[in-house]
Structure 1
Amino acid sequence: MQQSKPDVRVNIVVDPDRFDTVVGELIEAGAQVEERSPAIGMVCTRIAAGGVPAVEAIDGVQAVEQDRTIHLPPPEADLQ
Protein backbone atom coordinates (compact mmCIF):
# COMPACT_ATOMS: atom_id res chain seq x y z
CA MET A 1 0.00 0.00 0.00
CA GLN A 2 1.45 3.35 -1.08
CA GLN A 3 1.35 6.22 1.41
CA SER A 4 0.16 9.55 0.07
CA LYS A 5 2.13 12.68 0.81
CA PRO A 6 0.66 14.82 3.59
CA ASP A 7 -1.22 17.99 2.82
CA VAL A 8 0.62 21.28 3.22
CA ARG A 9 -0.74 24.74 3.91
CA VAL A 10 0.12 27.10 1.05
CA ASN A 11 -0.37 30.87 0.83
CA ILE A 12 -1.05 32.02 -2.72
CA VAL A 13 -1.00 35.55 -4.15
CA VAL A 14 -3.27 35.90 -7.16
CA ASP A 15 -4.17 38.65 -9.61
CA PRO A 16 -6.93 40.56 -7.74
CA ASP A 17 -8.70 41.32 -11.04
CA ARG A 18 -9.08 37.56 -11.70
CA PHE A 19 -9.56 36.49 -8.08
CA ASP A 20 -12.76 34.42 -8.42
CA THR A 21 -11.58 32.72 -11.63
CA VAL A 22 -8.21 31.79 -10.15
CA VAL A 23 -9.79 30.50 -6.92
CA GLY A 24 -12.07 28.30 -9.03
CA GLU A 25 -9.05 26.90 -10.87
CA LEU A 26 -7.26 26.27 -7.57
CA ILE A 27 -10.25 24.27 -6.35
CA GLU A 28 -10.32 22.30 -9.64
CA ALA A 29 -6.62 21.54 -9.09
CA GLY A 30 -7.47 19.98 -5.72
CA ALA A 31 -6.81 22.88 -3.34
CA GLN A 32 -8.95 23.16 -0.23
CA VAL A 33 -9.49 26.90 0.25
CA GLU A 34 -9.31 27.85 3.93
CA GLU A 35 -9.22 31.66 3.72
CA ARG A 36 -9.91 34.23 1.01
CA SER A 37 -8.84 37.88 0.96
CA PRO A 38 -9.93 39.24 -2.42
CA ALA A 39 -9.01 42.86 -1.61
CA ILE A 40 -5.32 41.91 -1.42
CA GLY A 41 -5.40 38.87 -3.73
CA MET A 42 -4.45 36.34 -1.04
CA VAL A 43 -5.75 32.78 -0.78
CA CYS A 44 -4.74 30.36 1.99
CA THR A 45 -5.16 26.75 0.93
CA ARG A 46 -4.27 23.21 1.83
CA ILE A 47 -2.96 21.04 -1.02
CA ALA A 48 -1.18 17.73 -1.46
CA ALA A 49 2.57 18.19 -0.93
CA GLY A 50 3.27 17.28 -4.56
CA GLY A 51 0.64 19.68 -5.91
CA VAL A 52 2.64 22.91 -5.63
CA PRO A 53 3.95 22.86 -9.26
CA ALA A 54 0.40 22.51 -10.61
CA VAL A 55 -0.75 25.48 -8.52
CA GLU A 56 2.22 27.58 -9.65
CA ALA A 57 1.29 26.88 -13.29
CA ILE A 58 -2.23 28.34 -13.00
CA ASP A 59 -2.57 31.56 -14.99
CA GLY A 60 -3.14 34.42 -12.55
CA VAL A 61 -1.11 32.90 -9.71
CA GLN A 62 1.61 35.41 -8.88
CA ALA A 63 3.34 33.76 -5.93
CA VAL A 64 3.16 30.52 -3.94
CA GLU A 65 4.68 30.12 -0.49
CA GLN A 66 4.43 27.11 1.74
CA ASP A 67 3.35 28.04 5.25
CA ARG A 68 6.00 27.34 7.87
CA THR A 69 5.82 26.60 11.56
CA ILE A 70 8.57 27.95 13.77
CA HIS A 71 9.04 26.28 17.15
CA LEU A 72 10.47 28.46 19.88
CA PRO A 73 11.70 27.27 23.26
CA PRO A 74 9.78 28.44 26.33
CA PRO A 75 10.91 31.79 27.80
CA GLU A 76 12.54 30.13 30.78
CA ALA A 77 14.70 27.78 28.65
CA ASP A 78 18.45 28.24 28.47
CA LEU A 79 19.69 29.97 25.34
CA GLN A 80 21.08 27.60 22.76
Structure 2
Amino acid sequence: MTVPVVVALEDTDDADMSAVVDALRDAGLRVREVLTAVGVVTGTVDGDRLSSLSSVPGVAAVERERTIVLPPPDSPVQ
Protein backbone atom coordinates (compact mmCIF):
# COMPACT_ATOMS: atom_id res chain seq x y z
CA MET A 1 0.00 0.00 0.00
CA THR A 2 1.32 3.44 -0.93
CA VAL A 3 1.09 6.14 1.74
CA PRO A 4 1.10 9.88 0.95
CA VAL A 5 3.38 11.73 3.40
CA VAL A 6 4.56 15.18 4.39
CA VAL A 7 8.15 15.36 5.64
CA ALA A 8 9.33 18.35 7.68
CA LEU A 9 13.06 18.98 7.49
CA GLU A 10 15.33 20.43 10.13
CA ASP A 11 16.64 23.94 9.50
CA THR A 12 19.18 23.43 6.70
CA ASP A 13 20.62 25.43 3.85
CA ASP A 14 19.80 24.58 0.22
CA ALA A 15 22.81 22.26 -0.27
CA ASP A 16 22.00 20.28 2.87
CA MET A 17 18.33 20.13 1.86
CA SER A 18 19.27 18.54 -1.47
CA ALA A 19 21.30 15.90 0.36
CA VAL A 20 18.37 15.17 2.71
CA VAL A 21 15.97 14.87 -0.25
CA ASP A 22 18.38 12.44 -1.94
CA ALA A 23 18.58 10.40 1.28
CA LEU A 24 14.76 10.35 1.49
CA ARG A 25 14.65 9.01 -2.07
CA ASP A 26 17.17 6.32 -1.09
CA ALA A 27 14.91 5.44 1.87
CA GLY A 28 11.99 4.86 -0.53
CA LEU A 29 10.24 8.24 -0.82
CA ARG A 30 8.86 9.04 -4.24
CA VAL A 31 9.16 12.82 -4.09
CA ARG A 32 6.21 14.81 -5.41
CA GLU A 33 7.23 18.31 -4.35
CA VAL A 34 10.06 20.04 -2.49
CA LEU A 35 8.95 23.23 -0.74
CA THR A 36 12.37 24.75 -0.09
CA ALA A 37 11.11 27.99 1.49
CA VAL A 38 9.34 26.11 4.31
CA GLY A 39 11.56 23.02 4.52
CA VAL A 40 8.89 20.49 3.56
CA VAL A 41 8.93 17.56 1.15
CA THR A 42 5.78 15.76 -0.02
CA GLY A 43 5.53 12.40 -1.70
CA THR A 44 4.52 8.79 -1.36
CA VAL A 45 6.20 5.78 0.20
CA ASP A 46 5.34 2.11 0.51
CA GLY A 47 3.70 1.49 3.87
CA ASP A 48 6.40 -0.92 5.03
CA ARG A 49 9.09 1.74 4.46
CA LEU A 50 7.28 4.61 6.22
CA SER A 51 9.24 4.29 9.47
CA SER A 52 12.58 4.43 7.62
CA LEU A 53 11.94 8.04 6.60
CA SER A 54 12.12 9.36 10.19
CA SER A 55 15.59 7.92 10.63
CA VAL A 56 17.04 9.96 7.76
CA PRO A 57 19.43 12.60 9.16
CA GLY A 58 17.95 16.08 8.72
CA VAL A 59 14.32 14.94 9.04
CA ALA A 60 12.38 16.62 11.86
CA ALA A 61 9.02 14.86 11.39
CA VAL A 62 7.09 12.55 9.07
CA GLU A 63 3.28 12.61 8.93
CA ARG A 64 0.72 10.90 6.78
CA GLU A 65 -0.86 13.43 4.46
CA ARG A 66 -4.47 14.22 5.33
CA THR A 67 -7.30 15.39 3.12
CA ILE A 68 -9.85 17.81 4.50
CA VAL A 69 -13.13 18.33 2.69
CA LEU A 70 -15.21 21.41 3.44
CA PRO A 71 -18.90 21.72 2.67
CA PRO A 72 -19.89 24.04 -0.17
CA PRO A 73 -20.40 27.73 0.74
CA ASP A 74 -24.20 27.47 0.42
CA SER A 75 -24.39 24.48 2.77
CA PRO A 76 -26.48 24.92 5.95
CA VAL A 77 -23.48 23.66 7.95
CA GLN A 78 -21.73 26.98 7.35
Length-normalised TM-score, structure 1: 0.76
Question: 2:32 maps to what in 1?
Answer: 34
Identity of aligned residues (%): 33
1:9 counterpart SS class:
strand
CA displacement, residues 30-70 of structure 1 (integer Å, 9 cap, x when unaligned): 11100111111100010001212100000100011101234
Alignment match, 1:7: 2
Over the residues paired in the alignment, what is the CA RMSD in angstroms?
1.8
What is the one-letter code of the residue matched to 1:60?
A: G
DSSP 3-state at the match of 2:44:
strand
**Where is the helix percentage greater, Structure 1 or Structure 2?**
2
| Unaligned runs of at least 5 residues, structure 2 | none
- Structure 2 counterpart of 1:3: none
Deviation at 1:20, TM superposition (A): 0.5
Structure 1 stretches of 5 or more lacking a match? Answer: 1-5
Q: How does 1:27-66 map to 2 (within 5 A)?
A: 27-66=25-64
So what's the TM-score if we normalise by structure 2?
Answer: 0.78
Tell me how far apart the structure 2 counterparts of residues 54 and 34 of structure 1 sit (CA, whole Å): 18
- Number of aligned residues: 72
Distance of 1:69 and 1:60 partners within structure 2:
26
> Which 4+ residue blocks in structure 1 deviate beyond 6 angstroms?
none
